[in-house]
Structure 1
């Protein structure tokens, strides 16, 4: 009706428009002025990995040119460079995901010289200030320089001149800007012959895959030594819990089992490894085939699948039956502990949120996000202003809703034929690894990650022709940001150090 009404309004306006002199074409908007890039440099010392390191922090802007060779984007990055770094000292480029997230989480939660402290056991939220920031002796600064990248539209990064943020909110623009920055950084710091690594989290692992491919196949060949993929998201079919995506019911089932066991609803008295191995086998060998049969399941087959789903998920049989043997992850979050009036977190199923609406189908918000977000935002801004003496005239965008909402997930240029499909960069990682036989990959998984399930990681990395002998899969007692748990953080940092030393072994079950 709205479309029809609009058409009628245009038709009735035509005679009047015919009598009106044509207006001159609107003048093109003038480009915004481009100020000089800013850079804040400071000297620091710290002890990392048992070694005392003197280092320089370079926090500032790098301008990237557009097609007309004029500055079109400004990337704000924070580089930690050892004062005695030689040309062969490794360098690691770090970013988070979203899309639309700044690098604050990996920066202040895992890798930087300072870190934010939140409740390790997910038994309390961050509340209100003051929050606690401590030294991070586990940081990798004794092993590698660290460069934290905030993509366009996040942190202090933005489009400038005639550039537009949306030009970079797609695979080509995002990957091109990150790749250009890496080339510029290693050129300025004379690190072309240094080992190079990327650490990405969540959508940052998606980005890491297509950046690795672009660096390997682009006009300027830059070969990476390693990727650390935290909470991988290469194939979105396995991490998108929606109706009729049969594949996702299979990939999410073992994560549901892990959370149910953690909260005492399933698998009691059974070792976690044994319980999750059984959940994997059921999901792969029985549940998947049953879903493909659908309504053609016999009564006996249906009863068996129902019984096993109750066993692994801890949910009531009537609820599973009413769900037609298909429980979406958001519903599981709300249903598992509904009798206690709490909902599970999505990023981390260990967290429990006491929501006002106990009858709702799904959680109102993600407790595992809002339970830590205020502390990270406050301490990142405090750290920038005090420790790094950064003085900017705009807010630091920890998370950009605009980037997430307006991100273009097309994987072909505008104008080319394209049908909607799940985002998948598995083949891009394959290309990067097969063209660069020195590229190794570590994949870190949280058992209680309810958005990027660990079983999906196992299935994804067994497909697409990814060289298996150069992939190390690891697991932790945490969620999407497993480093929020103190034990998981220490284990993850130990594994990353071992990976950099070329010694990490794959921990995937047989």
Structure 2
């Protein structure tokens, strides 16, 4: 019995050690990877020699243990006389679940992928064309492109858990932590600091600006550039009974109908949009709030005016109870041609198999008609130009993230009733504490997911000091830089914004 007991004890001890070792191995973290290369480019009429640093940065918990690896690509000018005075701009896209590929390969990176500027052709299959970004801003600022946890090459490591990063507050805190680490490592605390965010990236930007004020390391930003802003989701959520969205989307529908020659012909885009703005504020809003109290004559009058602005049949508008959901508009505007228009960019058109679905069923043509080019070009650029060699695929987007995202704007232990996300008040308060922070808001007229009128509506409320906001507009959609004239205009607007004192 004694020998058997001893043998059993030894086996049990060995199994325990083995299990512990396996657990340790599963949490082992290799050294972060870094790929450094040197390049040059002409931006702003100046030859800029710069270093590209594509690398992993490990975020650690309060115990000093690595919990996440953040992938970033930094483009830093060489031989700067005083690096502490050179601006640095942090760039990210949105989702949540999107990597920074779109702003890097579409607008601000040293090489850009070419897609059809007029939104008339699909990107097709490889090969694709990459060109030097002669409209870049590296003469004005260093650039750091960030991929949040779960996107690009970024991932949870060690004892980290996705729920620690996949949430409105958690995401902002992790990006703020990365920025502090980067600034500290590169001795850039005295550098002017900016953020460029797109779509949900603007939601993140407001959260990060707020998060950077805390944790005993207040890092004030000099400015935010919000591309296709999404600060108050009531204005960008087209669903039944959300009166705000019927209002905020109407001018974008009108602009898109104008573009496709279904409305406003003989008028300029700006004058037609202004006419629709005035109607929305002064007539459409009261009609929606009056609801079923409208008389038949009033309903007919509103339906006729909506048909005038958005190019849909009056009978269809009446059947819709004067409330047109965006997916239906996408399908109805070019119904006679059998085409559905894009959501990110209403200029794009997709030939659908089923012509009668209540909204596009193939997906968003303004997304699937360019995504292959962006994916291939970024992977080629990383491997061929930056020498990046990683052991996992680069995720342009991660669909798993959205389903697990924590939208609560409060701590997990706090109660909160679901409502539309709105970080505008947070931004307003941050701007009042940091009076040196300026904000630029870039909107596309044909953006049917984050409408330009929503930006105007959002920044006219929520305690925002409107005189501190610079609003700029483009004749394209969500990613206005896919339209070459607007890429040039956006670059000029950003350049002017960064140069303001």
Length-normalised TM-score, structure 1: 0.92
Deviation at 1:289, TM superposition (A): 1.0
Distance 1:175 1:410 in 2: 12
Cα displacement string for residues 402-438 of structure 1 (whole angstroms, at most 9, x for unaligned residues): 1122111111111211110100100110111000000
Distance 1:217 1:188 in 2: 19
Query: Is contact 2:70–2:146 with CA below 8 Å preserved after alignment?
Result: yes
Distance 2:150 2:207 in 1: 19
Does residue 181 (structure 1) correspond to residue 178 (structure 2)? The answer is yes
Deviation at 1:172, TM superposition (A): 2.4
Give the alignment partner of residue 263 of structure 2, picking from 258, 261, 266. Answer: 266
Cα displacement string for residues 242-273 of structure 1 (whole angstroms, at most 9, x for unaligned residues): 01101100000000000000001000001111
- Pairing 1:104-143 to 2, within 5 Å after superposition: 104-143=101-140
Length-normalised TM-score, structure 2: 0.94
Cα displacement string for residues 58-100 of structure 1 (whole angstroms, at most 9, x for unaligned residues): 1010000023220000001000000023221000000000000
Question: For residue 331 of structure 1, what is the aligned residue in structure 2?
Answer: 328
Distance 1:280 1:394 in 2: 48
Instruction: Name the SS of the counterpart of 1:154 in structure 2.
Output: coil
- Pairing 1:390-429 to 2, within 5 Å after superposition: 390-429=388-427
Does residue 247 (structure 1) correspond to residue 247 (structure 2)? The answer is no
Question: For residue 46 of structure 1, what is the aligned residue in structure 2?
Answer: 41
Does residue 57 (structure 1) correspond to residue 52 (structure 2)? The answer is yes
Instruction: Name the SS of the counterpart of 2:85 in structure 1.
Output: coil
Show structure 2 runs of 5+ residues with no match.
1-18
Instruction: Name the SS of the counterpart of 2:79 in structure 1.
Output: coil
Does residue 499 (structure 1) correspond to residue 467 (structure 2)? The answer is no
Aligned alpha-carbon RMSD (Å): 1.4
Question: For residue 35 of structure 1, what is the aligned residue in structure 2?
Answer: 30
Show structure 1 runs of 5+ residues with no match.
1-25, 504-510
Instruction: Name the SS of the counterpart of 1:46 in structure 2.
Output: strand
- Pairing 1:138-177 to 2, within 5 Å after superposition: 138-177=135-174
Distance 1:405 1:53 in 2: 43
Task: Report how many residues are paired.
Answer: 479
Distance 1:88 1:288 in 2: 49
Distance 1:269 1:72 in 2: 59
Instruction: Name the SS of the counterpart of 1:169 in structure 2.
Output: coil
Question: For residue 6 of structure 1, what is the aligned residue in structure 2?
Answer: none
Give the alignment partner of residue 230 of structure 1, picking from 227, 231, 241. Answer: 227
Question: For residue 376 of structure 2, what is the aligned residue in structure 1?
Answer: 378
Query: Is contact 1:104–1:398 with CA below 8 Å preserved after alignment?
Result: yes
Does residue 315 (structure 1) correspond to residue 309 (structure 2)? The answer is no
Query: Is contact 1:153–1:159 with CA below 8 Å preserved after alignment?
Result: yes
Cα displacement string for residues 169-214 of structure 1 (whole angstroms, at most 9, x for unaligned residues): 0122211111111111111111111100000000000000010011
Give the alignment partner of residue 80 of structure 1, picking from 75, 78, 85. Answer: 75
Does residue 487 (structure 1) correspond to residue 490 (structure 2)? The answer is no
Question: For residue 295 of structure 1, what is the aligned residue in structure 2?
Answer: 292
Distance 1:67 1:193 in 2: 26
- Pairing 1:6-17 to 2, within 5 Å after superposition: none
Query: Is contact 1:216–1:435 with CA below 8 Å preserved after alignment?
Result: no
Cα displacement string for residues 419-473 of structure 1 (whole angstroms, at most 9, x for unaligned residues): 1010010011011100000000000000000000000000100111112221100
- Pairing 1:447-458 to 2, within 5 Å after superposition: 447-458=445-456
Query: Is contact 1:430–1:467 with CA below 8 Å preserved after alignment?
Result: yes
Question: For residue 19 of structure 1, what is the aligned residue in structure 2?
Answer: none
Distance 2:117 2:400 in 1: 31
Query: Is contact 2:299–2:318 with CA below 8 Å preserved after alignment?
Result: no
Query: Is contact 1:216–1:436 with CA below 8 Å preserved after alignment?
Result: no
Query: Is contact 1:229–1:444 with CA below 8 Å preserved after alignment?
Result: yes
Query: Is contact 2:168–2:405 with CA below 8 Å preserved after alignment?
Result: no
Deviation at 1:299, TM superposition (A): 2.0
Cα displacement string for residues 365-395 of structure 1 (whole angstroms, at most 9, x for unaligned residues): 1000000000000000000111000000000
Query: Is contact 1:93–1:197 with CA below 8 Å preserved after alignment?
Result: yes
Distance 1:344 1:67 in 2: 49
Distance 1:193 1:134 in 2: 34
Instruction: Name the SS of the counterpart of 2:235 in structure 1.
Output: helix
Deviation at 1:29, TM superposition (A): 5.7
Question: For residue 61 of structure 2, what is the aligned residue in structure 1?
Answer: 66
Instruction: Name the SS of the counterpart of 1:411 in structure 2.
Output: coil
